[in-house]
Structure 1
Amino acid sequence: MGSEKNRVINERFYDAYLDFDEVLCGRLNVKEDGVKKYQIKMKECYTEARDVIPEWDVVYARLKAIRARHQNLTQGTAKFDEFQGKDEDVVWMQIFCEKLDADADPLSKYSKYSFEKRKHKGFFAKLMEAFSK
């Protein structure tokens, strides 16, 4: 048995998610499902970025959780009157949008790093370099 409070929280979350998804769609230049596309982009550079950007794993997990919550509400797996979460998801999405505006989100930070593979010089190459001077 659900309550009116849960319905209000879930409706607030649902509306905020739609706005959040639209912001990510605009940011990534896609027509729909911006949250999923953001996750895909994060997954593409997972290995390099997670070591230098501390919040990488936390953001990825949070995006996955809020997307799953939205999908449950959209597909009718969960009803709006049932407890799904707290308003902190809405606040998190708002803060994330602010980070997007400030280019402080994980993908923006990632784009600022240079992850070129450095070729290590072997002993012979170092020796040749020393004699060429």
Structure 2
Amino acid sequence: MKTAAFLLVAMLFHGGVQAQEFPENCEDVPGADRLTVETCTRQALDRQHQAMESAYRQLHASLPQAEAAALEAGQRDWQVYQQSYCRLFVQISGAENPAWAMTWGEIAQAGCEADQIEGRTAQLKALHNIVELRTRQGEAIIEDTSR
């Protein structure tokens, strides 16, 4: 929630920085005007999405067919949850200020999505670590029984 929380604070300040490339953490962008925050947040969302897709592909490739199918179903369910949660986050954040929702709501949505994707990427990597451990243990058992 770092990115989404920062966006709520950044929306209170309107500076004038117009950079092309932004740091990995949008909290490090000084003078966060709307365009700057929007661009930084979109870049962060793209980076998080690429990292998640990479982790997903790596995990998917390491699974037997039945587990890969379960991963696919789980990923679809997670995507529904992510969208629902982030819509709720934006709705609650801007409930008292419709103008905020119209101007900053999309940025808050993207920030929320980036945070959720970062968490999902960590989950996918943890699952991949379990698969690797399971594979190594299986290889050790086979090697041990062949002696």
TM over 0.5: no
Which is helix-richer, 1 or 2?
2
TM-score with structure 1 length normalisation?
0.36
TM-score with structure 2 length normalisation?
0.33
The structure with more radius of gyration? 1
